[in-house]
Amino acid sequence: MVIAMEHETVSSYLFRTEPSTGDKGFATSLSDEEKEKNHQESEQIVCRQCSHIITKPEERIQVNGSHQHTFANPSGLIFEIGCFQTAKGCGCTEQATSEFSWFSGYSWRIAVCGKCLTQLGWLFSSSRGSSRFFGLIINKLICI
């Protein structure tokens, strides 16, 4: 869990841009980047529509005791979602809303593929802003 004192560090991580491959100019963060590169060479979770890399299996988390949740929206559509700590390949709408939120205490924004803009799920953030995670629609993604 993120505690308030670490807020600044966490923010810079969340908004960090993708490291450019082959650029080893930043020695201080090299070890982190090496780790990420190793992960990328193993498994990836990608957009089913366009194969854009969305997140990694390591980012799977449990929320309310379970990684996977099944929900219906107000129109009766059923969604099976998996919870992920981060999803770097997603873009999000600006406006957060707490209407019909599936996780109590959390508001949500629509999360789309950063490349083809297909909706992949939602970004949930707690009202205090200290906790956030992605709920991604499982059948919109492929694990490769």
Q: How far is the CB of 82 from Zn ion (least distance, A)?
A: 17
89: helix, strand or coil: coil
- Distance, in Å, from the CA atom of 6 to the CA atom of 43, rounded to the nearest integer, reads 29
- What tokens does 6 get? 């670490």
Instruction: Between 46 and 83, name the residue whose CB sits nearer to Zn ion.
Output: 46
137 counts as binding Zn ion under rule CB under 5 A: no
Binder to Zn ion among 10, 33, 36, 49 (CB under 5 A)?
A: 49
Neighbours of 111 (CB within 10 A): 24
Instruction: Between 83 and 87, name the residue whose CB sits nearer to Zn ion.
Output: 87
Q: Which residue has the tokens 């949500």?
A: 108
Neighbours of 113 (CB within 10 A): 24
Q: Name, in order, each residue with C-beta under 8 angstroms of 94's C-beta and a sequence gap of 6 or more.
A: 109
Interface positions, 2-31, toward Zn ion (CB under 5 A): none
Binder to Zn ion among 45, 113, 123, 138 (CB under 5 A)?
A: 113
Q: Judged by CB under 5 A, how many residues of this single chain contact Zn ion?
A: 7
Please choose, out of 69-77, 84-92, 106-114, 124-132, the segment that lies near Zn ion by the rule CB under 5 A.
Answer: 106-114
144 counts as binding Zn ion under rule CB under 5 A: no
Cβ proximity of 125 and 85 under 8 Å = no
- What tokens does 1 get? 């869990």
Binder to Zn ion among 61, 116, 143, 144 (CB under 5 A)?
A: 116
Interface residues toward Zn ion, by CB under 5 A: 47, 49-50, 52, 113, 115-116
